[in-house]
Amino acid sequence: MGFSVTIASSIILIVLLVLSSSFLITIFQGLKEISYAAKEYLNSEKEKLDVSLQLAVNSVNATSCNVTVKNTGSKTIFLKKQGNFSWNTIILSYGNGSFWFSYSIEDYEILEIKVSGTNYTFSQDNHTFINSGEEVTISFSIPNGAPEIPLDGLVSVVFVTHYGVEAKAEGVRTQ
């Protein structure tokens, strides 16, 4: 009887060691994954802190808008599409008290890229981005088939970067 108690106790001890080591490995692996996810989240949030934009609506007519985006942060904002990938999106909402329309616009025309507060412009052939202290003037149209922007209608424009940072401004169609 003494020998069987020793064997049974040894088996129970081995099972407990295996279970506790499996449990500890699972906990450590989970902590490692949580640590990795937190690090990635903090890196993306840090990157967003380096991006700062200002947006102004310059003009609004029945079918198009003209806006200026100023880069006041330290990150470069890329402007031109690369294949099917669009670096930025413009969200346009307009209407009056009785109706509202919203559209996502990725096809916009770059009119001018320049140093903010100056008349010094860059060639769009080799300068398809805005660095800190630069601004871009953009023109875009409402999508085909969309109703015209109403006279005295409020227009809300949001410029969203590939960093996930946006700049917002409003304008009114007066002509």
Q: Does the pLDDT of residue 1 top 60, yes or no?
A: no
pLDDT of residue 97: 76
The tokens for 14 are 């081995």
Contact 60, 142 (CB under 8 A): no
The tokens for 98 are 């009785």
The whole-chain average pLDDT of the chain stands at 90
pTM summary value: 0.74
Q: For the ranges 42-51, 128-137, 143-152, which has the lowest average pLDDT?
A: 42-51
Nearest C-alpha neighbor of 163 from the set 81, 70, 39, 48? 48
b or e along 66-94 (b: 16 or more beta carbons within 10 Å of the residue's beta carbon)?
Answer: bbbbbbebebebbbeeeeeebbbebebeb
* Per-residue pLDDT tens over the stretch 95-145: 887 889 999 999 899 999 999 989 999 998 889 999 999 999 999 999 999
> Residue 22 carries which DSSP code?
H
pLDDT of residue 125: 86
pLDDT band at 55 (very low <50, low <70, confident <90, very high): very high
Which value, to the nearest 10 degrees, does the dihedral of the CA atoms of residues 144, 150, 153, 154 take? Answer: 0
CATH of domain 53-172: 2.60.40
Average pLDDT over residues 66-87: 88
